[in-house]
Structure 1
Amino acid sequence: MAQRSAQYTRIQDFDPEHHPAQLRHLSSVPGPWESRVATVNARLLTIQSSDATVTGAALLTARSAAAYVKISGILARDAATYEELVRAVLDYAKEKDLACVKWEGWTEEPWLADLAEQMGFQSLPAPRGTADGSASIPRFGYVHWLHPACYLPTAHYEQSENFTCAAVAALAAHGETTSIATMDRLRSVELLLWRQATNFMACEPVGLGLAIAERWPASRVQVSLDTDKPVIVDYYPEAERSWRGILQAESRRRAEATGLPVTSKRMEISQIHEAVSQSARVLLLVSLRQMLGYDVPHWILCHGTAGSTEKPVIIIDDSWIDAPSGESWVDVTCLPIPLQELDSMSCLEADGYRAALILTDCFSE
């Protein structure tokens, strides 16, 4: 525990049954403290006086298998304690060698924006689709990188259907989750691209590569898939696998006929790190087991690098927000994942294959 002007900081697991009531003397406990608390990985950082009186508290959450911590809420008796809490969170993240600290806020107050800027936080692009004014959505988000970071700043867009992750990842890679003007148009493009690429309901890698190459002919697309068997089929009953295999065989035939590069050599995570460090975008198929606890195939966009020499990370954008666990768009925008975690989660099904699409020249005219 660090002594600070007769006060000290304490880190403990957050207890949603007891801690909110114990903190009411600071102020009301709205937002994530009660109604949206993330019980997975939730921690409480408090500043206490020598007689154990809590003068400020920060609720910290994070997605599993990721290298960040998020300030989900702050309660403090005064502005000085508020600032001290933020500094304590930054110190905590540095001790853990995390890539960044994120900060979500539920009210837009000018002094908060000023404080965030003074303490080295950068404003995250406002997400698409939050214009309804819903109280369940954070009004602002910030990120403070603790090591140099290079990535694609793009407005987050939450996939509108359970099965459209691949389409959203491709749109984000090309900047279109930001550039498409209206939400109606963005959702239409999302669904049409999914329909073009899908193997019902998921998008298999070769079919996805063909759809991307057709929609963005200026982009160079290469598919890396180290198996010749049908993929994303173990998740379906035996009776529903064979026809999906036939469709995937047709995708491979079309790829050969059109010249879409498909390599059977496994793409290592170090190669993905190298590719995105040179401005490529990589669509990677992962299981959500490590991050969210359920084994579902899911496409993410890898678009940047950060982290320390000892703990490098790949920065991803994930179109899925696990709201029941307390996540928001702040979590899944520029989300840093350690290389070893990404290596593990991108080994799919019984064969442990890896599926990746490498996109270059994404913004060429």
Structure 2
Amino acid sequence: MKISGILARDAQTYKKLVHAVLDYAREKDLACVKWESWTDEPWLDELAEHTGFRPLPTPRCTTDGSAPSPPFGYVHWLHPARYLRTAHYQQSENFTCAAVAALAAHGETSGIETMDRLRTAELLLWRQATNFMACEPLGLGLAIAERWPASSVQVSLDTDKPVIVDYYPEVERSWRGILQAESRRRAEATGLPVTSTRMEISQIHEAVNQGDQVLLLVSLQQMLGYDVPHWILCHGTAGSAEHPVILIEDSWVDVSSAESWVDATCLPITFQELDAMSCLEEDGYRAALILTE
């Protein structure tokens, strides 16, 4: 649940409204309540802290800033949460989600000092991994292994057919399949771990709960209503025993759907929703990369 704005006659009413939202969220056994703040007022910070909210890291964005975006955000976890606390970075191009997810997993969306260098890193990693325009799992795994050789990456892909090709006309599929076959050959030659066993959502939950991170290929159909392949980072767990959730970092912010970076960072997704989101194309394959330090 997200508080996107509050109108109240005085500070006391403001406080009652926030408590009412939290009470409602607890009744529904939700994982958290987020709060978008559009004004820089010290008393709002005090109210947020007093009611159990904690500030979200200041986001980083290389876009032109023409779309309205809240400068501040807070989160109140209603159950214990374990996740990667990183500044949200909105992908600078509509095709660089895989690169941003990998950079976020390695702390570089927060760690790279200047926005120019961050965008350069985003584009260079995308170029290294891409199958034009999308990044397929094996090529992405190879690029990550080369970019961060000290880290461990394992690819889970339960099909040996070319992937992310149904989105293109028939005449544009064969050459992408050839490139993916070359990625598979390179993976075998370099010893990149690749498993054909389908990774279940419960296994993703277990992996991130143990400190690993998972890059997961999903379709935006469930989230935004259009079937476009998209890489997200699964990096945490939260929720109750009855309603566990996996926390993701989503570098795509759909302003037309009233989304903001407050939604997209440490976003809770239920097992059922994540399972439906990550069945791709007609074959219903699942593609995931498990990153271990």
Contact 2:214/2:234 (8 A) holds in 1 = yes
Aligned-pair identity in percent equals 83
Match of 2:152 in 1: 220
Match of 1:156 in 2: 88
Contact 1:198/1:208 (8 A) holds in 2 = yes
Match of 1:237 in 2: 169
Which deviations, in whole Å up to 9, do the C-alpha atoms of 1:171-229 show, x marking residues without a partner?
Answer: 00000000000000000000000000000000000000000000000110000000000
Which deviations, in whole Å up to 9, do the C-alpha atoms of 1:252-291 show, x marking residues without a partner?
Answer: 0000000000100000000000000011010000001111
Length-normalised TM-score, structure 2? 0.98
Contact 1:303/1:315 (8 A) holds in 2 = yes
| The structure with more radius of gyration | 1
Match of 1:93 in 2: 25
Match of 1:79 in 2: 11
The answer to whether 1:288 aligns with 2:239 is no
Which deviations, in whole Å up to 9, do the C-alpha atoms of 1:99-125 show, x marking residues without a partner?
Answer: 100000111110000110111101100
Instruction: Give the alignment of 1:179-190 within 5 angstroms.
Output: 179-190=111-122
Specify which structure has the bigger relative contact order, considering alpha-carbon pairs within 8 angstroms and separated by 6 or more residues.
2
Q: Which amino acid aligns with 1:101?
A: V
SS at match of 1:224: strand
The answer to whether 1:350 aligns with 2:292 is no
Return the alpha-carbon distance in structure 2 between the equivalents of residues 81 and 134 of structure 1: 33
Match of 1:122 among 51, 54, 67: 54
Contact 1:281/1:359 (8 A) holds in 2 = yes
Once superposed, which parts of structure 1, at least 4 consecutive aligned residues long, lie more than 3 Å away? 130-135
Deviates more, 1:287-296 or 1:132-141: 132-141
The answer to whether 1:331 aligns with 2:263 is yes
Q: Which amino acid aligns with 1:173?
A: A
Return the alpha-carbon distance in structure 2 between the equivalents of residues 131 and 191 of structure 1: 14
The answer to whether 1:143 aligns with 2:91 is no
Cα shift at 1:95:
1.5
Match of 2:137 in 1: 205
Q: What 5-or-longer segments of structure 1 have no aligned partner?
A: 1-68
Q: CA RMSD in A?
A: 1.2
Cα shift at 1:135:
8.0
Match of 2:193 among 243, 248, 261: 261
SS at match of 1:304: strand
Q: Which amino acid aligns with 1:253?
A: R
Q: Which amino acid aligns with 2:60?
A: R
Q: What 5-or-longer segments of structure 2 have no aligned partner?
A: none
Cα shift at 1:129:
2.4
Match of 2:41 among 78, 89, 109: 109
Length-normalised TM-score, structure 1? 0.79
Match of 2:229 in 1: 297
SS at match of 1:342: helix
Instruction: Give the alignment of 1:311-330 within 5 angstroms.
Output: 311-330=243-262
Contact 1:71/1:104 (8 A) holds in 2 = yes
Cα 1:132–1:112 shift into 2, 3 Å: farther
Return the alpha-carbon distance in structure 2 between the equivalents of residues 295 and 109 of structure 1: 40
